[in-house]
Amino acid sequence: MNVSNASQTAHFNELAGQWWDELGAFGVLHAMNPIRIKFIKDLANAHFPPQGLQNLKVLDVGCGGGIACEPLARLGANVTGIDASEAAISVAKDHANAQGLTIDYHCTDVKYLSETFDLITCLEVVEHVDDLPIFLSNLAARLNPKGLLVLSTMNRTWFSYLVGIIGAEYLTRKVPVGTHDWHKFVEPAQLVELIEPLGLRAISLKGLNYSVLNREWHIGGTLKMNYLAGFLKV
């Protein structure tokens, strides 16, 4: 069964050349990336003392052009990045090489991997897959015992529809039209309900919100828009 979405993969193939343009189609992801990386780093420091991310075996699923893989590699992790978009993987490889970073990139689906990892990240991806339960099961299967799974996604609320789709895609055009399907947004309780039977326990659930006043993203506050979730494999 194919859990990835073919039309979404084609959409991101078309946008692949903009992955490292901070003012382009992925500008919002660049803006929130430092906060996402801090969340991942803090969880790794808490659950893999004393080394944290140092030499940790990390898989980034749906890595796109590598904007999360590269900072994780700079923090000392041994990073593998996978994505369904061949064009995005090509961009990721070229950019990592230009930066002198060693990151293992592959155009593949997580279900085809045989190795396991200490930490799996999957950022702004679950709202794009066709079969969420199977996709999450595949993620859990690739995680080592006591390993961490970190997800970030969008809550399915009227607020997220108005801001994330009407506002971001149609009014301000900060995100290309057609990037999101509101019906695939995932409520936090739904995410926990799907993941915990897979042998993982929710350990952190925090809002990822934008401050208009400070013009930056921060962790905390409401979960009604974007949120970060950390799970520990027990």
Helices 86-99 and 6-15 pack at an angle, to 10 degrees, of: 40
CATH of the domain spanning 6-233, picked from 1.10.10.60, 3.40.50.920, 3.40.50.720, 3.40.50.150? 3.40.50.150
Q: What is the pLDDT of residue 87?
A: 94
Residue 102 backbone phi and psi in degrees, to 5? -100, 105
Q: What is the pLDDT of residue 230?
A: 98
- Tens of pLDDT, residue by residue over 97-154, are 999 999 999 999 999 999 999 999 999 999 999 999 999 999 999 999 999 999 999 8
The fraction of the chain above a pLDDT of 90, given in percent, is 71
In the block, which residue shows the tokens 């659930």? Answer: 205
DSSP letter string, 116-162: -EEEEEEES-GGG-S-HHHHHHHHHHTEEEEEEEEEEEE--SHHHII
Please return the burial class of 7, using the count of CB atoms within 10 Å of its CB with bins 0-12, 13-18 and 19+. exposed
**Section 195-216 average pLDDT:** 90
Residue 3 has pLDDT above 60, yes or no: no
The closest alpha carbon to 83, from 146, 44, 125, belongs to: 125
pTM above 0.85, yes or no: yes
Using pLDDT thresholds of 50, 70 and 90, give the confidence band for residue 1. Answer: very low
**Section 43-71 average pLDDT:** 97
- Give, in order, the Cα–Cα distances in Å from 56 to each of 15, 48, 78, 147: 31, 9, 6, 10
- Tens of pLDDT, residue by residue over 164-187, are 777 666 666 677 766 778 788 899
Give me the amino acid identity at 225: M
In this structure, of 8-17, 89-98, 126-135, the range with the lowest mean pLDDT score is: 8-17
Residue 161 has pLDDT above 70, yes or no: no
Q: What is the pLDDT of residue 114?
A: 95
**Sequence ranges of the domains in the chain:** 6-233
Give me the amino acid identity at 211: S
Please state, rounded to an integer, the average pLDDT across all residues of the chain. 90
* Local structure of 11: helix, strand or coil: helix
153: which strand partners? 227
CA dihedral (167, 170, 173, 177) in degrees, to 10, reads 120
Helix H segments across the chain? 6-15, 27-47, 69-74, 86-99, 132-141, 158-160, 188-195
- Tens of pLDDT, residue by residue over 19-38, are 999 988 888 899 999 999 99
In the block, which residue shows the tokens 């991942």? Answer: 40
